[in-house]
Amino acid sequence: MRIGVLTGGGDCPGLNAVLRAIVRSAINEHGDTVVGFLDAWDGVLEKRSIELTVQSLAGVLPRGGTILGTRRGSPYDFVNGPQQVREVLTEMSIDALVVIGGNGSLTVASRLHDELGINIIGVPKTIDNDVEGTDVCFGFHTAVQIATDAIDRLHTTAESHDRVMVVEVMGRDTGWIATYAGIAGGATAVLIPEHPFDIDDVANAVKRKHSRGRYASIVVVAEGAIPKAGTMPTPQYALDPFGRPRLGGISVEIARELFERTGFETRVVQIGHVQRGGTPNAFDRVLCTRLGVAAVTAAHDGVQNSMVAVRGEDIVCVPLNQVVGKTRYVDLSIYDNVATVFFG
């Protein structure tokens, strides 16, 4: 077979590990050729690609980012873009295209299959962990570890000064990183998009904690967290070139409101893209390797328009039409029954 592969959307620790697994499995196990398209769909539309070989992927397992480059955006942004994708893939004799991406890229991939018959295998990727149909996305656990390490460090400086640290993590629509890092880091409160918060409740949790003689509180907030209507100001977000709000900054507003209500000194830490950079942890390296091998197996089994996914201990194939247009929200039993037990 000739297998095409691209990495789309925001980058994520483990992309190179998936590429390596695809290449090793495709070439060594099946005698395939693997073509890597550069800069996501741009590389397909502009016929910019490289042949991926076992040698060219040597040493990339622990490396962050993606050797193929990635972009947001879609062929559907261009007149005849989807048709051009089909023409290029046909011209290059690509039998199956592996799309490593999050909700945006997988939605594009599924449309390309449904409307133009392109043979797609998806691999779910995002540190936000919000792709439906899989128990977990690669990159998520690495991001949680990075955020937890930061919180651990913030604890000691916050304790020294009796301060409140408001720690903002990624999570546009869902609070997976905030919930997991908040539990792992012993947060006083965790604020997530799924659960609009009342700033008075957060202030009371901070006061309760300090009234017990404990110094330092860590409030973990997902960038997409939303206050209950009318309770406090929210930032005005500029739009990115794709019309999405460029999030970041809710922590600044929260810190100001907490200071006004509690009188405790507050500081803000936005972990930002540090969560997306650098080496994947061991869990993600193993997961990426399993997903990459499974994607090649799926292509050889003739699986179409599906995503390789984690279900319990297994890697399975899930039809993309069961996945796209949906968001996998934080299991509120983890938030309500576990995280909140430790608030305040």
Which residues participate in catalysis according to the annotation?
A: 128
Q: In angstroms, give the least distance from the CB of 241 to ligand F6P.
A: 9
**CA gap 37, 50 in Å, rounded:** 7
| Amino acid, single-letter form, for residue 215 | Y
Q: How far apart are CA 180 and CA 10, in angstroms?
A: 21
Query: 81: buried, middle or exposed (CB in 10 Å: 19+, 13-18, 0-12)?
Result: middle
336 CB-near residues (< 8 Å, 6+ apart): none
Position among 170, 219, 271, 310 found at the interface with ligand F6P (CB under 6 A): 170
Burial degree of 32 (CB within 10 A; 0-12, 13-18, 19+): buried
With beta carbons less than 8 A apart as the criterion, state whether 49 and 76 touch.
no
Residue appearing with tokens 């995280």: 339
> Restricting to residues 276-295, which ones interact with ligand F6P according to CB under 6 A?
276
User: Whose Cβ is closer to ligand F6P: residue 32's or residue 128's?
Assistant: 128
Residue 172 in contact with ligand F6P, rule: CB under 6 A = yes
Q: Which of 4, 8, 10, 64 binds ligand F6P (CB under 6 A)?
A: 10
Contacts of ligand F6P in 128-157 (CB under 6 A):
128
Q: Measured from the CB atom, is 15 or 34 closer to ligand F6P?
A: 15
Using the rule CB under 6 A, give the single segment among 50-58, 169-177, 320-328, 332-340 that binds ligand F6P. 169-177
Q: CB nearer to ligand F6P: give 239 or 341.
A: 239
Q: How far is the CB of 212 from ligand F6P (least distance, A)?
A: 34
Q: Give 259's strand partners.
A: none
State the nearest-atom distance from the C-beta of 174 to ligand F6P, in Å.
9
| 224-243 footprint of ligand F6P as x/- string (CB under 6 A) | ----------------x---
Contacts of 62 (CB under 8 A, 6+ apart): 17, 279, 280, 285
Q: What 8-state DSSP symbol labels residue 139?
A: T
Q: Measured between alpha carbons, how far is 1 from 205 in angstroms, rounded to an integer?
A: 59
Q: Looking only at residues 179 through 218 of this chain, which bind ligand F6P when binding is defined by CB under 6 A?
A: none
Q: Is 277 helix (H, G, I), strand (E, B) or coil?
A: coil
140 versus 264: smaller Cβ distance to ligand F6P:
140
The distance of closest approach from Cβ of residue 127 to ligand F6P in the complex, given in angstroms and rounded to an integer, is 5
Closest separation between CB of residue 177 and ligand F6P, Å? 8
Of positions 66, 74, 110, 126, contacts ligand F6P by CB under 6 A: 126
Between 32 and 168, whose beta carbon lies closer to ligand F6P?
Answer: 168
Output the smallest distance, CB 275 to ligand F6P, in A. Answer: 7
Binding mask of the shown chain, residues 78 to 107, with x at each position contacting ligand F6P by CB under 6 A = ------------------------------
The CA-atom distances, in angstroms, between 341 and each of 205, 277, 334, 337 are: 11, 32, 10, 7
Q: Which is nearer to ligand F6P, 72 or 155 (CB)?
A: 72
Dihedral angle over CA of 273, 106, 284, 185, nearest 10: 50
On the 0-12 / 13-18 / 19+ scale of CB atoms within 10 A, 62 is middle
Among 13, 36, 171, 185, which residue interacts with ligand F6P (rule: CB under 6 A)?
Answer: 171
Compute the least distance from the CB of residue 223 to ligand F6P, in Å: 6
Positions that interact with ligand F6P (CB under 6 A):
10, 126-128, 170-172, 223, 240, 247, 276
